[in-house]
Structure 1
Amino acid sequence: MARISPRDLVHGATLRRLALPALVVVLGLQMLRVYIPSLAWYLRDTVGVGSITLGGIAFATFALGFLAPLVRRLAGSRGALWASAGGLAALRVLEQFSSSPGLDLYVSLAAVALFLIFLGAFVGHSRAADGTGAPARLVGGLILGLALDTLIKGAGGTLDLSWTPTIGAVIVVLALAAGVLWAIAVEPAPLRSAASDVGWSSALPLAGIGSIFLVQAMLLQNQGWVAEVSGIPSPTAFVVLVFGNAALAAGAWLALARPALHRLGVAALAALLLYVALPRTTGFGGTLPLMVLVLQFTLGWALAIIARRGEEPSRTGLARTSVGMTLGMLLYLLLAFVYYVPFDIALPLTRSSVLPLASFVVAVCLLGSLRRGEPRAPQSDPTTPTAAIALAVLGSVIVLLTPSPAPSDREPTGRVMTFNIHSAFDRAGRLDPEAIAQVIEAADPDVVALQEVSRGWLIDGTVDLTYWLARRLGMHVVFSGTADPIWGNALLSRRPLQESGSAPLPVAGTLLPRGFLWTRLDLGFDRPLLVIATHLHHVADEPEPRLEQIPVLLEFWGGQERTILMGDLNAEPDWPEMQLMRQAGLVDSWAEAGEGPGLTWPSDDPFQRIDYIWLSPDLQALTAKVIDSTASDHRAVVAEIAPR
C-alpha cells in the first residue's frame, strides 16, 4: 500500500491560491455583520430612519456589486482585485479602531459594496488566470472562508472581532488584512484577451450562492441556533459547526472529483433534501447536529456543481457573471429583509416563507447547473477538505482548552434584577455586551431577568448573548425563544436552577410574539423561589394585547407564595394593565421600597416607568433602585427582597 504523506493531502500552491478568496470572505462576512446591525440599531433605532427607507439604502448598497465589470474594465483584472479586496482590507482595519456607530455604518457600507464587487471580479479573474481550475478555487475559497470565519467567531464566544476592543482582536484583523494584501501581490495578471465570462445559462445559477450564504448565516454557521434547537451547550454546538464545514468541503470535493455523479437523479435527490430539510431544522431537536453534517455535505456538493457550470468561459468581460453573483446577494438581502421586517411591518410574504424560498433557489440553481454530454475531467485535489478538517480539529482544541467559569457558590443576598438589554446594543446603537455585563456585575444580583435577548439573529450581529453573558459573568442561564427559537427572554442566576420552563403569551393580533420564562431556585428562604420573567407587547397606545397577556401570567402564578414576576411590561404604573397586577395581589417593589419616580425608559432621558419587579404578598422589598446606564435603551431595576 502506498504511503500517504502530508504533501499528498495539502498542496502548498493550492493553499496559496485559496488564500485570497478565503480571507476576503472572512473580512466580507465580518463587515456584513457590522453593516446589517448598523442599519437596524443605529440608523433605525437611534437616528429614527424608517424600515422601508433602510431597505432602500441596503438594496442600493448591494446593487453596487453590478459595478464589477466597470471596475475591471478601468483597472484591469488584477487592479480590480486591488481596488475591491485591498479596499475591503483597509476599511476592515479602520472599522476595528472605530468606536462610533455612525462611522461603523459608513465604513461597513463601503466595505460591503467592495466585497460584492470582489465576488464578481474574482470569478472572472480566476477563469482567465486559472482556466478549468477556477471552479475549484472559487468553491474552496468560499468554504475555507466560511470555516475560518466560524472558527474566529467561536473562539471569541460568538462575539465578532469588530466588537472586541482588545489587542488580540487588533492583531488578528491586521493579520487577515495583511494576508489579503500579500495574496493580491502574488496573484498573476491574466492576459486581457483571456476569456472570463460565460453565457446566461452558466452565469445565472451563480445566484444560488447568495441563498447558500443566507442559509449559512441563519442556520448552519449559527452557534446559538444549533445549541438552542438541539438542546446542547453552545461550545458543543461550535464543534458541530466546524465539523459541518469539514462536511461542506467533503461534499464539494466529491462533486469535483467524481463528475460521473452529476446526474439528474442524484441532483434531484439532493435538491429535494435541501428543500424539505432546511426549512424544518427546528423539528430535528437532538438530531440537528447530525442533520447539520448531512445538509452541509449536500450544500457543498451543490455549490461545486453550480461553480462548475461556468468552467468554460466563452467571452471576455464580466457582465453576465456579475449579474448572476449580484442577483444572488440581492436575494440574500431580500430574504433577510422578509425574515426580520415582519416583526415591525406586515408584509405579503411571511417569515416562514424565507427558508423554503432560499432552499428552492439553491435547488433550482443546482438543477440548472447540470449539463448533458461527457462528464468533465475530475479534479481531486484534497487541499480544501484537509484544511477544513484541520480547522475543525483546531476548533475542538479551542473548546477543550477554554475554561468555563463555574458559578460562584456564595451565600445568596436576596438581590434580584430585571434588565431589557436591547440585544446588547447601547443607546448610541453600538453592540457592546461587555457594558451589559458590567451593569449586572456592579449590581451583583442573585438572579437577573433579561429581555430582548438574541442567540444569533443576523440583525443583532449573530452573537449568542446567553452563552457570552453566562460565560463572562460565571452564572447559570436558561433561555426561551419567543419570536423564533433564538430571540426572547433569559434568566441568569448565581444559584443552581432547580427546574424551569416557558410558555407563549397571546399574540392578540400583534406582529412580535411574546412569552414568559420561569424557574425555581434557592435564595436562602424557607422554600424555593419561583421567578417569572416576561416581556409584554411594546406599543404604548395598544393596551389590548397586554390586557390579554397579563391574565395568562396571573393564571400561571396562581397565587403561589415566594414568587417574583419581573420584566419589561411596557405599561405605566397607573395604566389598566398594572392595575390588574395589583388587583391580583402582587406587590410593586418600587412602590414599596423605591424613591422617586423610578423611570426606566429611554435610558438616556427616561420619562416612563415600564420595567417592574412584582412580588407575591408574602415577600417584601427592602430596597429598590434604578441603575443609571445607557448600556441599553432601558435602565435596569434592582431590588433586595426578603420574606415578610
Structure 2
Amino acid sequence: MHLSRRRWLHAATGTLAVAAFSVPEAIVPAAVAEESSADDLTVIAYNVYQCRGWPSQRRGAMDAKAAGEMPERFAAALSPLNADVVVFSESPSESITTAIAEKLNRHVIRFPSGGNWPGTLLSRWEIIDSANAPVAGGTRPQDLFTRHWGRATLRRPDGSELIVHSAHLMPGADPGVRIREINAMLESMKPDLDAGRDLLLMGDLNHAPDTAEYQAWIDAGLVDTFERVGQGDGLTFKSDTPMRRIDYVFAAGPIADRIAESKPLFTSPFRLENDNEASFALSDHLPQLATFQLSH
C-alpha cells in the first residue's frame, strides 16, 4: 500500500501544559512552515542505548561520541523516516536529546527514570500535557519503573488527541516486577481505554510475545501492531543478529483499526554490519516502526 508522506518541518502552535509528577518543561521547536496531512501517522519506538553506539567499545563509536557527533548521526538516520512520534528508552543526557529534537524540529519531553534510564518523547505535534509514572493514586512504588514510564497527550492537526505511553520495563528472567509495572500501567490507562480514546503504548517492554506480560496487554484490549500486519519474526534485539522481540508499538481505540505497517528497521545505520569491523550500529536495539492509515 502506498502511503502519502508529509513534507518536512511542521509548524508548532499553541501552548504547552505540563502535568504533575515532576516532568520538566517540554522543549518547543521554533515555528517553521509545513503542510500537514491527517492521512497517516508514523511512530517509532527506539531503545537508543544512551546514544553511545554499539558495540560502544569500537573505535568508530568511541570517536563519534568523543567528537560530539551522535546527535547529528541519530537525526540523520531518523529524518528520512519523517516520524510524527518517536520515543527513546535509555536516553542519553538531556542536552543530546534536545539537540536531536532541534535538528528534527520536534517538540520534546523527558521522562525521568527511577534509576539511570530516562525516556524521551519527540513529537511533530503539540504536547498538551504529560506526566511521569502516572500511577493511579499518585505514588510510585520505589521498586517500579526504575527504567521509565511516561504519558503524554498530543494534539493532532484536526484538533483530536492522541495518548502516548512511553515505557521501558524491568529487564530480567523473573517477570514479577514487570507484571506489577504492567498492572499499574493498565490501571492508569483504564479510563482512556474504557472511553475508547486513541492510545499508543511504545517502548522496550523487555518481554517476548509468548509471555504472561504480553498477554496482559492483549487481554486489556491493546493490539500489537506487528502481530496484526508485520511479516517474519519481528526481532528487535540485538542489532547485529536479532534474537528477541522485546520492542513494541501497541495501539488501542479507533486507531487500532488503522494499522498499515509495523516492522523493525534492520537497516544501516540501525543494524550492525557484522562483516565490517569499522562499522557500528547506533544502538544495540533496532527501532520498531509502525504506520497508521488514518484517512478513509
Match of 1:480 among 94, 99, 111: 111
Task: Map residues 582-597 of structure 1 onto 2, 5 A cutoff.
Answer: 582-597=218-233
CA contact (8 A) 1:421 1:634 kept: yes
CA spacing shift, 1:231–1:536, aligned 2, 3 Å:
closer
AA matched with 1:427: W
Shift of the alpha carbon at 1:417? Answer: 1.0
Shift of the alpha carbon at 1:498? Answer: 1.7
CA contact (8 A) 1:427 1:604 kept: no
Shift of the alpha carbon at 1:231? Answer: 5.0
Residue matched to 1:469: 100
Match of 1:551 among 178, 183, 197: 183
AA matched with 1:634: H
CA contact (8 A) 1:527 1:562 kept: no
Shift of the alpha carbon at 1:508? Answer: 7.3
The CA distance in 1 between the partners of 2:43 and 2:26, in whole Å, is 25
Shift of the alpha carbon at 1:465? Answer: 2.2
Residue matched to 1:598: 234
CA spacing shift, 1:441–1:494, aligned 2, 3 Å:
same
Shift of the alpha carbon at 1:576? Answer: 0.8
Q: Extract unaligned runs of 5+ from structure 2.
A: 1-21, 271-280
CA spacing shift, 1:590–1:524, aligned 2, 3 Å:
farther
Rg (Cα) greater in structure: 1
CA spacing shift, 1:525–1:601, aligned 2, 3 Å:
farther
Residue matched to 1:634: 285
- CA displacement 1:409-466 (0-9 Å, x = unmatched): 441431111111111111121333333222321211111111111326xxxxxxx222
CA spacing shift, 1:579–1:469, aligned 2, 3 Å:
same
Residue matched to 2:74: 436
Shift of the alpha carbon at 1:549? Answer: 0.3
Higher relative contact order by CA 8 Å / sep ≥ 6: 1 or 2?
Answer: 2
AA matched with 1:416: V
Shift of the alpha carbon at 1:233? Answer: 8.0
Shift of the alpha carbon at 1:468? Answer: 1.2
The CA distance in 1 between the partners of 2:141 and 2:175, in whole Å, is 13
| The structure with more helix, counted as a fraction of residues | 1
CA spacing shift, 1:504–1:437, aligned 2, 3 Å:
same
Residue matched to 1:609: 245
The CA distance in 2 between the partners of 1:409 and 1:447, in whole Å, is 16
CA contact (8 A) 1:602 1:635 kept: yes
User: Is 1:493 aligned to residue 141 of structure 2?
Assistant: no
AA matched with 2:164: V
Shift of the alpha carbon at 1:405? Answer: 5.1
Q: Extract unaligned runs of 5+ from structure 1.
A: 1-228, 235-403, 457-463
User: Is 1:416 aligned to residue 52 of structure 2?
Assistant: no
Task: Map residues 105-504 of structure 1 onto 2, 5 A cutoff.
Answer: 406=31, 409-412=34-37, 413-429=40-56, 430=61, 431=65, 432-455=70-93, 464-483=95-114, 487-503=117-133
The CA distance in 2 between the partners of 1:508 and 1:641, in whole Å, is 36
- Given the two structures, how large is their TM-score scaled by the length of structure 2? 0.72
Shift of the alpha carbon at 1:504? Answer: 6.2
Match of 2:147 among 514, 522, 525: 514
CA spacing shift, 1:612–1:232, aligned 2, 3 Å:
closer
AA matched with 1:502: N
- Given the two structures, how large is their TM-score scaled by the length of structure 1? 0.34
Q: Secondary structure at the match of 2:133?
A: strand
Query: Number of paired residues?
Result: 237
| The structure with more strand, counted as a fraction of residues | 2
Residue matched to 1:45: none
Paired-residue identity, %: 28
Shift of the alpha carbon at 1:488? Answer: 0.6
CA contact (8 A) 1:508 1:548 kept: no
The CA distance in 2 between the partners of 1:487 and 1:455, in whole Å, is 10
The CA distance in 2 between the partners of 1:233 and 1:529, in whole Å, is 17
The CA distance in 2 between the partners of 1:455 and 1:501, in whole Å, is 19
AA matched with 1:418: A
AA matched with 1:415: T
Q: Secondary structure at the match of 1:490?
A: strand
CA contact (8 A) 2:24 2:109 kept: no
CA spacing shift, 1:544–1:411, aligned 2, 3 Å:
same
Q: Secondary structure at the match of 1:609?
A: coil
Q: Secondary structure at the match of 1:498?
A: strand
The CA distance in 1 between the partners of 2:158 and 2:23, in whole Å, is 35
The CA distance in 1 between the partners of 2:26 and 2:198, in whole Å, is 30
Q: Secondary structure at the match of 2:209?
A: coil
CA contact (8 A) 1:419 1:450 kept: yes
Shift of the alpha carbon at 1:481? Answer: 0.7
Q: Secondary structure at the match of 1:571?
A: coil
Aligned-pair RMSD on alpha carbons? Answer: 2.6
Residue matched to 2:18: none
CA spacing shift, 1:556–1:504, aligned 2, 3 Å:
closer
Residue matched to 1:360: none
CA spacing shift, 1:407–1:550, aligned 2, 3 Å:
farther
CA spacing shift, 1:231–1:624, aligned 2, 3 Å:
closer
The CA distance in 2 between the partners of 1:585 and 1:469, in whole Å, is 34
AA matched with 2:101: A
CA contact (8 A) 2:23 2:132 kept: no
Residue matched to 2:262: 624
AA matched with 2:121: L
